[in-house]
Structure 1
Amino acid sequence: MQQCQLPSHRDRPRLSYVDYGGSGTPLLLLHGAFGRGAVFAELARGLVAHARVIAPDQRGHGLSDHADGYTREDFVEDAAHLLRVLGLGPAVVFGHSAGGVTAYQLATHHPDLVRALVIEDAGPLMRRPEIARPVLDVRGWPAAAPTKEELARQVAEAAGMPDVGYFLQSAVRDEERDCWRFLFDWDDMMAVQEGNVGEWWADWLGSTCPALVLRGGNSTLLPADLAREMVDRRADTHLVTFPDAGHWIHDDDPAGVVAEVIEFLRRVG
């Protein structure tokens, strides 16, 4: 596992990515809002024997640069640029949440770069009323605290939820400021989420490569009927539901996700 960087390119921010190593089929892992490439560490450990695994910190996240824009096109073109510079296309592209939308939009707009898709708990309708809360209002949430425990406590209080572990994966110790802080900016994360709101059926149906859809049975972001419609309307698409998992299936059942992805990789070559 090695943290690497692509230099900035024209109007594109400098992108950092985790090179998990491995050999064989290139596998690009795209995190969702608030994430970073390192959130896939456990998943990657189970996959490097079967694929060449790369996971970028997308713009505004992790160790990549912040940016002026966080549109769908921005994320798609960043992913395309990364694959081209690293010479990894066509790749199997795995995307979680907003990263899933980026994955299937990449397949539609750059089909030469995508061999197959794995979409984790993301659909083509990211809006109300189909999704009760497509945007989590994080405005004003704490950005730093003296300790990681205090940062977790403050975020849990702001969020009104006990488990904020996903957010804390993007918290780091800042020695210069003597605090723990988030790598992302909460206002940027609002822009990321708002840019993901929409109706994306044309992008989901615009590619023909094999696709695997993973749904968390306890997730509210990909309803069961919408997941089934995704499969029914698109050829060569298979659905797997993890009944005890929430939105972050790769955290709730990493072994199960690894097994499904390995089987999929064997099928698509």
Structure 2
Amino acid sequence: MMNYEDAGGDGTPVVALHGTFGRGLTFAAVATRLLPDYRVIGPDLRGHGLSDRGGDFSREAFVRDVADFIQERELAPALVIGHSLGGVTAYQLAARHPDLVRAVVVEDIGAVTDTTQVEQPVLDVTGWPRRFVRRADAIGFFAATPAPEYFLESVAGNGELLFDLDDMMAVQHGNAGSWWDDWQSVSCPVLLLRAANSFLLSTDLAAEMVRRRPGTELVAFAGAGHWIHREAPDDYAEVVRGFFARV
């Protein structure tokens, strides 16, 4: 079962794919700003949020899930946004199922996600608490992370994490790799967003992605970190809205 958030309205549907540890809820601020022209639909990807846990966490499985999600809801060809893990899924979906994607926005993730380009592609979470007795304990624990509110969205009312730690390790390992073939195979319009303070997408890698795939639009967000859609939702929505209008 795949849970999802739906901003509603009569606007053009946009499928928004979150990053590791996240939920479809992470795009709420952007979804509000894209109304009424666009209706953001954000699924909880496998192993995350209120969707099913366990199973296969390969790239193929993530791509298949989103392809099925789009087909079952008759959203094709869809506008697709993907952040981090969701960004890899977004451009792989566009490459492997070109009939399902009209245009794709890739947020702060590269065509290479392993140690050849990223210093720490896998965050070791095996020692994290699986449940917090008090909300204050969760707040204190995630205060040390770069995006506390992002992680807190995945803490249930009873203090339990809405993801399994072993699942998250498998998700991260499955996402680490060199995906140039997928990136270069995307035929639809692509907008690549890079955070100036990114720890996953370097300036050089972003430039190489544009060089290898001519026509890619690249926009950098000064002062922003990896979670651009949360840190700069006004600017993010403006850039994405302009891109969608052009395609």
Q: Which TM-score bucket, shorter chain as reference?
A: over 0.9
TM-score normalized with structure 2 length: 0.96
Tell which has more relative contact order, 1 or 2 (C-alpha 8 A, sep 6+).
2
| Structure 1 Cα separation of the partners of residues 123 and 173 of structure 2 | 9
The one of 1, 12, 15 aligned to 2:2: 15
Aligned length: 247
Contact preservation (8 Å) 1:22, 1:53: no
Q: CA deviation at 1:155?
A: 4.4
More strand by share: 1
Match of 2:109 among 106, 119, 122: 122
Q: Describe the SS at the equivalent of 2:156.
A: strand
Where does residue 152 of structure 2 map in the other structure?
168
Q: Aligned pair in 2 of structure 1 residues 213, 162: CA closer, same or farther (>3 Å)?
A: closer
Judged with a 3 Å threshold, the aligned counterparts in structure 2 of structure 1 residues 53 and 135 are, in CA distance, closer, same or farther, namely same
Q: How does 1:1-12 map to 2 (within 5 A)?
A: none
Task: Give 1:253's aligned residue.
Answer: 232
Counterpart in the other structure of 2:21: 34
Matches for 1:28-177 after TM superposition, within 5 Å: 28-156=15-143, 161=145, 164-174=148-158
In structure 2, the gaps of 5 or more residues are: none
Identity between Structure 1 and Structure 2 (%): 51
1:161 and 1:36, CA in 2 relative to 1: closer, same or farther beyond 3 A?
closer
Deviation at 1:162, TM superposition (A): 7.0
Unaligned runs of 5+ residues in structure 1 are 1-13, 175-179
CA distance in 1, matches of 2:101, 2:147: 34
Residues 147 and 227, structure 2, Cα contact 8 Å, conserved in 1: no
Equivalent position to 1:262, from 229, 241, 245: 241
CA contact (8 A) 1:212 1:237 kept: yes
Note if contact 1:94-1:119 (Cα within 8 Å) is conserved in structure 2: yes
Distance 2:88 2:138 in 1: 30
Asked if 1:233 is matched to 2:220, the reply is no
Q: What's the CA shift for 1:230? A: 1.0
The Cα shift of 1:165 comes to: 2.4
Structure 1: 4+ residue segments shifted above 3 A? 160-163
Counterpart residue identity of residue 118, structure 1: V
Q: Tell me, in whole angstroms, the C-alpha distance in 1 between the residues paired with 2:27 and 2:69.
A: 18
Aligned amino acid, residue 100 of structure 1: G
CA RMSD across the alignment:
1.3
SS of match in other structure, 2:230 = helix
Q: How does 1:191-210 map to 2 (within 5 A)?
A: 191-210=170-189
Which residue of structure 1 aligns with residue 191 of structure 2?
Answer: 212
**8 Å CA contact 1:142, 1:155 repeated in 2:** no
- Deviation of residue 148 (structure 1)? 1.3
Q: How far apart are the structure 2 equivalents of 1:230 and 1:185?
A: 33
> For structure 1, which segment, 87-96 or 22-31, has the greater mean C-alpha deviation from structure 2 after superposition?
22-31
Show CA shifts across 1:138-192 (max 9, x none): 1120111121111232345xxx547532211111112xxxxx1211111111111
Deviation at 1:48, TM superposition (A): 2.4
Q: Does the 8 Å contact 1:107/1:207 carry over to 2?
A: yes
Work out whether residues 31 and 39 of structure 2, in 8 Å CA contact, stay in contact via their aligned partners in 1. Answer: no
Q: 1:163 to 1:78 in 2, by over 3 A?
A: closer
CA distance in 1, matches of 2:234, 2:242: 12
Between the aligned partners of 1:168 and 1:115, the Cα distance in structure 2 is: 33
Q: CA deviation at 1:246?
A: 0.5
SS at match of 2:206: helix
